[in-house]
Chains A and B, each alone.
Chain A
Amino acid sequence: MVRDTNRHFKFDWITIFLFFLLVGFGWLNILSASHVGTDINYFDLSQPYGKQLVFIFLNLILIVLVLAIDAKFYERFASIIYIISMLSLVGLFIFGKNVNGATSWYGIGSFTIQPSEFAKSAAALAVAKHLSDLNTNIKTFKDQLRTFAIIGIPAVLVLLQNDTGSTIVYGAFIYVLFREGLPKAYLITAFSAIILAILSLKFGFIAASMVALVVVVAMHYFRKKPFRIYQSVFIVIAAIAISFVVKFFYQSILQPHQQDRISLWLRLEKDPAKLEAMKKTFAYNLNESEKAISSGGFTGKGFLEGTRTTGKFVPEQHTDYIFSTVGEEWGFIGCAFVVITFVLLLLRILHLAELQKSQFSRVYGYSVAAIIFIHFFVNIGMVMGLIPTIGIPLPMFSYGGSGLWAFTILLFIFIKLDSNRINEW
């Protein structure tokens, strides 16, 4: 592909356009979700919409900075960026500020910053750097272990800070590793484990074990290379073990609110009175957000016209539940627009990643797509009640400076790398 080599035009404008589309539409919805009364002062810094506008302006400077830095810098300094980022996470244990039960913020006056948002970019850089190293072979167990360590360290650190949502995001890297040659077995094992976990929670471990057994027997007959007996026995025992562990994990390790979320999602609670009580407590957000979305209908109630949004029925609506505002005020059309924009953005990034000539850029690009995808899937899925409640923001859309800047850095590093594509070789 021949590209205009002029510095000003080599950036992928489609990605940039989709990015700004989401940021702009996101801000309109933050305005809707957070305004009070009818007179709106756009630069009112006491209101989320005013602050977000400032974040967006500062973000423009950030973009220029990210794009101005030489592409080679990111690859060369990936390890250092990673180490600094990890230190910033560790520092939270000492200096961190606790907000809503998670110790994820540094507070400087009224200004707070959430290093875990930036750690995702750092991890992506580090993974890209590691995998693109000529000495690394992902097919070897040693390198797999190293890679998992790079991903695992931030994941565990944020988990210890009680930010479960961010931990789950690191699961996105399985897409990246698989793309780069991680054996299928990992994927199958991970996928089977998730299915088994759900089955055993929903129907009990006996049912889960029976399903595992049936699958193994089926595999035995239909596979080109049948399992050996000890393999089959191992798999079934592993399945039973997983079931037990999951049950134990669910009942003894998970915090009550997490248990409740899973129980609601899997419809484990049958008593209508308790279900009704759930709707008033921890399921309140979900219930209200689903209602808000539902009430939007096909065309929505119109910008600033959502009665549930105006009445602040959905808590955290300008942050994690921002999609419910889209649902109520812009209806099916607006929601479909957002979903399609995200899908287009992701596909564009994937497409660009595949075009990269350097493995570093490709792995990084893939990581960007995977991280944004997991956020997109988990956040919108949660708001619409498809998956259990997990508190992570909708990229580019939700209110929050750290989140916006982190995603900007994440994405624009890739845009910079992509612009440098023809200079590779």
Chain B
Amino acid sequence: MRQLLLFISVISVGILFISRLFYLQIYKTDANNLFEDNAIRKVYDYPKRGFVYDRNGKLLVANQPTYDVMVIPREVKPLDTLEFCKLLKITKEDFVKKYDKAYHYSPRLPSPFVPQLSKEDYAVLQEKMRKFEGFYIQKRSLRDYQTTIGANVLGDIGEVNYATINKNPYYRMGDLIGKQGVEASYEDILRGVKGIKFIQKDRFNRNIGPYKDGKFDTIPEQGKDITITIDAHLQAYGELLMKNKRGGVIALEPKTGEILAMVAAPTYDPNILVGRNRSKNFTKLYNDTIAKPLFNRSLQGVYEPGSPFKLMNALIALQEGVMDENEHVTCYRGYKYGNRFMKCHCNYGTRNDMVSGIQRSCNAYFATAYRKILDKNGSASDGIDVWSKHAKSFGLGNFLNNDLFVGQKGRIPDRDYYKHIYPKTFYSTYTISNAIGQGEVATTPIQLANMAAAIANRGYFYTPHIIKHIEGETLPENFAKPKFTTINREHFEPVIDGMLAVYEKGTASSLRVKDIDICGKTGTVENFIKIDSVKTQLTDHSIFVAFAPKENPKIAIAVFVENGYWGSRFAGKVASLMIEKHIKGEITRTDLEDWLLRHTLEDEYAKPYSGEPFKINGYTTLQTVDEKTYSLLKQKLNQLNNTED
């Protein structure tokens, strides 16, 4: 019995130890993940982010080095905070706040402490950095915009957020990621792949050499340069013309689907979203919920298309054989259906065929056409599905499936859509507004530009896209394949003749450009907003769709100017000028140019927020900019013209 005591002790301790080992090494283990191992320092080597060039090879976006102060909270030792804060130009409160934030994210993973130091601050700090354990400097590259235009096109990069980190393990806290524009849509290509070095640390947090002689280290893969389809000159010109207006412009090259210009107004200088002021400036832009500078109106602005949509109805009517191009419709200053009436600008008793119907934008003509389409087989429900299918074949009512980071579907209604609104009966007259591009149809500028391109091509389009070339890669096939519409080629000629007539003698006759056959269509769209939940009408939107030249078209364009009143008043001028700029490279209609620079719609935009009753459309007066602003804009224009080579 007495012999057993030590014997039992030995056995029990053996069992106790093995249980403890089991607990430590099998149950609770955090075995063998290099990334979790705090004996191994992970040093990231960030590759060069790809450059962005415009279609003519002009460098738009390059890089500049920047230095982030990073912190690993767990490794921080007591330090002279006063000195540290002074070096970083932050307050003690900031220090505590930032430290807590980093600690909250993770005590053992690096978080950015003060991002994006200037070169000067870095130089001073670098000397003293070794005094502050747990902090280190991470070199990154920031964007260096070579231009002040195209903020909505180029986008910007910013610190990656938690949601992305959780979704994509590639990104670590403090990494930069494309947030908007091509930076976002071509993030993977521009970014490259960062390299990583595993470095063995000792307990004093000193590096003692590469882990396993660098067996697991990877070298960074450089980001690839891209060339975008934007013509920087045209883009800059468009942005200048759209100054002091709100809206969007899309210019496409019909034979390729390349986006020549994508203007969203108002816009901002992309340089303000670089560096330490990024978040301040971004917040300012983000919080501007009235002008919405971050809202890319050319892609996201969903508007009723108005009269340009009449082109679509004309095409469908021809395709469906319900109207002949020579068939006349008499307009009695409007169109009477049942006991309701749709007004028109035509003189009483005007007889319009298709060309003059488009030229005069006759509501009665297209109301007739629309009703004939829907009532072709006696069922408006069947008719609207046919109508809808044709319209959708132009890329309307759906995402274009392109390479742009944002977009909107717009809306082309069909039977299902109306089933909920008119559950019992459905007649063509119910939706007569669609005849003139109002009512339920809604499009974005890029969709309308695409429609213009399809008309210019006489029946097909290429998906509008922004990428022209990626270093060492071929473009997706999708962009090189024509998409055919459901309208036969021969039906386009009368419509195009009508569009030409719009310029020759129609609603845009004042916008003619010498030597260029422009085919266009104006649009004037009623629009409403709710002010204190009262539906209030605002001045009409000014819309214009065009392509040129008539034969072998080089450019298709859609312009929306919010509250610009009628189509040729603002939008038409912008379209004509941009067409001339693109085709001729110089401007003969400097009168239009001057007019646009001189006029502003800011008053118009302020009205609904003034809190006072206001007048619209015919009762408004045009507002001009003051001399100083005008001369500034003029100066910019001269600069632009001078840089042209």
Contact = CB atoms under 8 A, between A and B. Distances in A.
Contacts of B25: 293-294, 296-298, 327, 331-332, 335
B585 interface: no
Interface string B1-36: 011011101110110111011101110111110000
A176 B225 CA distance: 81
Contact of A294 (B29, B211, B212): B29
Given A175-B9, A179-B2, A311-B203, A332 B14 contact: no
Given A175-B5, A343-B10, A370-B6, A313 B39 contact: yes
Contacts, number: 120
Contacts of A175: 5-6, 9
B10 A384 contact: no
The contact size tier of chain B is 35 or more
B31 A343 contact: no
Given A297-B31, A347-B10, A332 B40 contact: no
Given A178-B5, A295-B30, A386 B208 contact: no
Interface in A166-223: 175, 178-179, 181, 187
Contacts of A127: none
A331 B20 CA distance: 13
Given A310-B200, A311-B201, A332-B22, A295 B29 contact: yes
A340 interface: yes
Contacts of A178: 2, 5
Interface in A26-70: 37-38
A30 B428 CA distance: 92
B65 interface: no
A26 to B, nearest CB: 17
Given A294-B28, A295-B30, A350-B6, A373 B13 contact: yes
B84 to A, nearest CB: 20
A327 B18 CA distance: 12
B269 interface: no
Contacts of B2: 178-179, 181
The contact size tier of chain A is 35 or more
A36 to B, nearest CB: 8
B14 A340 contact: yes
Contacts of A339: 14, 17-18, 21
Contacts of B213: 38
A288 B203 contact: yes
B20 A297 contact: no
A366 interface: yes
Which residue among B2, B32, B202 has the maximum number of chain A CB atoms within 10 Å of its CB?
B32
A288 B204 CA distance: 13
A189 B632 CA distance: 99
A311 B22 contact: no
Nearest to B211: A307
Contacts of A354: 3
B209 interface: yes
Nearest to B25: A332
Contacts of A347: 7, 10-11
Given A298-B31, A347-B10, A307 B21 contact: no
Interface of A: 37-38, 175, 178-179, 181, 187, 288, 290, 293-298, 301, 305, 307-308, 310-315, 327, 331-332, 335-336, 339-340, 342-343, 346-347, 350, 354, 366, 369-370, 373, 376-377, 380-381, 384, 386
20 contacts: A175-B6, A294-B28, A297-B25, A297-B26, A298-B25, A305-B212, A308-B37, A310-B200, A311-B201, A313-B39, A339-B18, A339-B21, A347-B11, A350-B6, A369-B6, A373-B9, A373-B13, A380-B17, A381-B13, A386-B20
